Amino acid sequence: MAKEKKQPRPKAQTPKGFRDYFGTEVTERSDMLQKIAGVYHHYGFDALESSAVETVEALGKFLPDVDRPNEGVFAWQEEDSDWLALRYDLTAPLARVYAQYRNDLPTPYRRYAMGPVWRNEKPGPGRFRQFYQCDADTVGAPSVAADAEICAMLSDTLETVGIPRGDYLVRINNRKVLNGVLECMGLSDDAQRDDVLRTIDKFDKVGAAGVRELLGKGRLDASGAYIDGVGLSDDQAAPVLAFLTSRGDTAAQTLSNLRDAVGSSTIGAEGVGELDTMAELLDAGGYGADRIILDPSVVRGLGYYTGPVFEAELTFEIFDEKGRKRQFGSVSGGGRYDDLVKRFTGQSVPATGVSVGVDRLLAALREKGRIGSQSRGPVVVTVMDRDRMADYQAMVTELRNAGIRAEVYLGNPKNFGNQLKYADTRNSPIAIIEGGDEKAQGIIQIKDLILGAQIAQNATLEEWKERPSQFTVPRGDLVAKVREILATQAQ
Interhelix angle for 449-457 vs 416-425, to 10°?
A: 90
- Average of pLDDT values for 450-458? 77
Q: Which residues are CB-contacts of 59 (< 8 A; sequence separation ≥ 6)? A: 73, 85, 87, 88, 92, 93
CA distance 491 to 268: 59
Q: Check if the beta carbon of residue 160 is closer than 8 Å to that of residue 365.
A: no
Q: Residue 73, CB half-sphere, CA atoms under 13 Å: how many?
A: 24
The total of other beta-carbon atoms located within 10 Å of residue 163's CB is 23
Q: pLDDT value at position 321?
A: 60
Q: pLDDT value at position 373?
A: 61
- Average of pLDDT values for 189-206? 79
CA distance 335 to 333: 7
Q: pLDDT value at position 324?
A: 65
Q: Tell which residue, 480, 473, 380, has the closest CA to residue 420.
A: 380
pLDDT over 90, % of the chain: 55
Q: Which long-range contacts does 317-322 make (Cβ < 8 Å, 24+ apart)? A: 318/367, 321/125
Q: Check if the beta carbon of residue 45 is closer than 8 Å to that of residue 112.
A: yes
| Dihedral sign computed on CA atoms, order 260, 263, 266, 271 | negative
Convert the pLDDT of each residue in 107-154 to its tens digit: 999 999 999 999 988 887 767 899 999 999 999 999 999 999 999 999
Convert the pLDDT of each residue in 350-365 to its tens digit: 999 999 989 889 888 8
Quote the pTM value.
0.82
| Dihedral sign computed on CA atoms, order 62, 68, 69, 72 | negative
Of 55 and 72, more confident: 55
Q: pLDDT value at position 416?
A: 93
Residue-level length of the chain: 491
Q: Is 486 helix (H, G, I), strand (E, B) or coil?
A: helix
Convert the pLDDT of each residue in 236-271 to its tens digit: 888 888 888 889 989 999 999 999 989 889 999 999
pLDDT beyond 90 at 170: yes
Q: Which residues are CB-contacts of 461 (< 8 A; sequence separation ≥ 6)? A: none
According to DSSP, residue 483 is labeled H
CA distance 480 to 26: 30
CA distance 171 to 279: 11
Q: Which residues are CB-contacts of 235 (< 8 A; sequence separation ≥ 6)? A: none
pLDDT bracket for residue 325 (50, 70, 90): low
pLDDT beyond 70 at 69: no
Q: Which residues are CB-contacts of 178 (< 8 A; sequence separation ≥ 6)? A: 197, 200, 243, 271, 299
Angle at 194 between CA 177 and CA 174, to 5 degrees: 20
Domains of the chain and CATH, by start: 16-142+348-366 (3.30.930.10), 148-337 (3.30.930.10), 379-490 (3.40.50.800)
Convert the pLDDT of each residue in 460-479 to its tens digit: 556 555 667 899 999 999 99
**Average pLDDT over the chain, rounded to an integer:** 88
| Dihedral sign computed on CA atoms, order 57, 58, 61, 63 | negative
Q: Which long-range contacts does 314-321 make (Cβ < 8 Å, 24+ apart)? A: 314/163, 314/167, 314/168, 314/364, 315/166, 315/167, 315/168, 315/169, 316/167, 316/368, 318/367, 321/125
Sheet holding 379-381, edge to edge: 406-408, 379-381, 430-433, 443-448, 470-474
CA distance 241 to 233: 12
Amino acid at 271: G
Q: Which residues are CB-contacts of 127 (< 8 A; sequence separation ≥ 6)? A: 17, 121
- Average of pLDDT values for 79-88? 86
